[in-house]
Amino acid sequence: MISTRELTKDFVVNRTETVHAVRGISLDVEPGELVAVLGPNGAGKTTTLRMLTTLIAPTSGTAKVAGYDVTSDPSLVRRQIGYVGQGNGAGHSQRVRDELVGQGVIYGLDSRSAKKRAGELLESLELADLANRKVSDLSGGQRRRLDVAMGLVHAPGLLFLDEPSTGLDPQNRANLWDHILRMREQYSMTIMLTTHYLDEADSMAERVVVVDHGEVIADDTADALKAELAGDQLILTVAPGNRTRVAELAKQLPGAKDVVADGDQLTLRVADGPAALPELIAASQRSAVPIATAQVRRPTLDDVFLNLTGRSLREADSTGKAAA
Ligand SMILES: Nc1ncnc2c1ncn2[C@@H]1O[C@H](COP(=O)(O)OP(=O)(O)OP(=O)(O)O)[C@@H](O)[C@H]1O
Ligand SMILES: [Mg+2]
């Protein structure tokens, strides 16, 4: 569905400075995949999506989207895809329902189907009560939902969503995901999206692509990324006199590493926390060195990013400045 080779994008700013926004991305996305692209501010996510949706031309490299080359056949690419940009796409003076129906017609639906689709989307994205409002009167989150509805109205086979859920309240985030997953099922959609909500990428996407400084630094399932790169963390409290002996027992666990003692706390990483913990407790009982409390902390995608880059995704910014 998507195939890129060494895709790059340079921006020349003020005629002198060159920003290497994307530095050679090679990716293959199969039909039906749901891929989440993660990365700090300025990593090159939006730039990549804009190249794949033919809004900007690559500096070098190639990209095929839905079977067509983005450089030589941009209009054929556009016919196959839907795109919800990071900014607002919807116009101002139109009413919500008309805007949505109009979008459907532009994308080739007949007016009856466009009205039907618009009605379904208004309902499921909780916009039905606002159908007759002017787009310019909507709140930020309502507007965002309309943007998403605009990208979904023609049920494209391939959908690009740039931070679809940013600015939505938890209820509407859940509704949006519900709708996306249902549409995906119904129309066998392939979806590539960006998000800053790590939990969202973790639970919804079966594939996570991590981008930093315009390059792909990891590409796998969320579970595999977490297992390979971070492992589970065991957090134990142990009386100071027993700490060394417990640490020795802990080091015997499969995949044990990063054993750190701090006061009465002992932390370490293991391959499989829920399996390792009972083993450790049994060993501590056999050796009569009690462990007072123990918990397993499963890694997050933020741990994965930290492990890869030495920076936390929450604080990182690919442009070098602190993220807002
Ligand atoms: N039109 C442009 N002109 C100059 N520089 C640009 C332009 N568009 C993007 N950039 C720069 O390219 C880099 C990548 O930007 P991009 O918008 O792709 O990041 P992003 O990963 O989407 O970040 P965010 O999470 O903040 O949306 C940034 O350093 C940005 O300042
Ligand atoms: Mg962006």
Ligand 2 centroid–CA 251 distance in Å is 42
Q: Whose CA is nearest to atom 27 of ligand 1?
A: 41
CB-CB contact of 297 with 232 (8 Å): yes
* Res 323: pLDDT: 39
Beta strands in the chain (DSSP E): 2-13, 17-29, 34-38, 60-65, 68-69, 81-84, 158-162, 190-194, 207-212, 215-220, 232-237, 257-262, 265-270, 293-297
Residue 46 Cβ < 6 Å to ligand 1: yes
State the DSSP code for 134.
B
pLDDT in tens, 214-226: 999 999 999 889 8
Q: Is the pLDDT of residue 321 over 50?
A: no
pLDDT in tens, 238-288: 998 899 999 999 999 988 988 999 889 999 999 889 999 999 999 999 999
Ligand index nearest the alpha carbon of residue 56? 1
Nearest to 318 by CA among 237, 181, 216, 175: 216
Q: Which fold has domain 231-298?
A: Alpha-Beta Plaits (3.30.70)
Q: Which atom of ligand 1 is nearest to the CA of 49?
A: 18
Ligand 1 centroid–CA 44 distance in Å is 6
Candidate of 41, 47, 165 to mutate for ligand 1, largest count of ligand atoms within 8 Å of Cβ? 47
- Residue ranges matching CATH 3.40.50.300 in the chain: 2-225
Q: Whose CA is nearest to atom 25 of ligand 1?
A: 41
Q: Which fold has domain 2-225?
A: Rossmann fold (3.40.50)
- Residue ranges matching CATH 3.30.70.920 in the chain: 231-298
